[in-house]
Amino acid sequence: MTLSPHLEAKFAKLLTSYPPGRQRSAMIPMLMFAQDELGQVTQELVEEVARRIGCTPLQVEEVLTYYSMLHKKPLGKYHVQICTNISCMLTGGAELWEHASGKLRIGHREVAADGFFSLEEVECIGACSWAPAIQVNYDFHHHVTPEKLDRLLAGLRSANAV
């Protein structure tokens, strides 16, 4: 599998970031970086990572299916993750989830038809002090209300309008 020069460099560095014989430690970061670039973890990528770190594709599959932040299906350009764990739930996280799901007309781990947004109901994202919190790709948004969420989504759309 051919990787972008950027990813190739990252992978090369990762292989030297761990003590000799512990190259499989690079598995998760490799999958994360590649997913960011490719939008998903493909079977081809699984095999490529396995080959590079010296384990079997099945071992990569074990890790890949264990971690919910690694995805085998493509996500939207913006992956909206709404926390409904305890602190967020008490401060309106569940309502926020209902609102987002209704607005985008998609459910948990689904992608909108245009591929722009995808939605996921997640467990605690470590932002309880600012609950309810959501995460869009790698960005956090605090004290989110349905109105704030609407503005955020509209903003992302217009920013990307051609």
Binding residues vs other proteins (CB under 8 A): 56-59, 61-62, 65-66, 68
* Residues 141, 88 contacting (CB under 8 angstroms): no
* Shortest distance (Å) from residue 14 CB to other proteins: 22
Hey, is 121 helix, strand or coil? Answer: strand
- End-to-end alpha carbon distance in the chain: 32
In DSSP terms, 139 is beta-bridged to 136
Residue 109 DSSP class: T
* Shortest distance (Å) from residue 57 CB to other proteins: 7
Q: Residue 9 and residue 16: Cα distance in Å, rounded?
A: 11
Tell me whether residue 37 or residue 123 sits nearer to other proteins (CB atom).
123
Tell me whether residue 66 or residue 138 sits nearer to other proteins (CB atom).
66
* Shortest distance (Å) from residue 111 CB to other proteins: 21
Tell me whether residue 95 or residue 121 sits nearer to other proteins (CB atom).
121
Tell me whether residue 122 or residue 144 sits nearer to other proteins (CB atom).
122
**Alpha carbon 84 to chain centroid distance?**
16
Q: Residue 46 and residue 97: Cα distance in Å, rounded?
A: 32
* Shortest distance (Å) from residue 156 CB to other proteins: 30
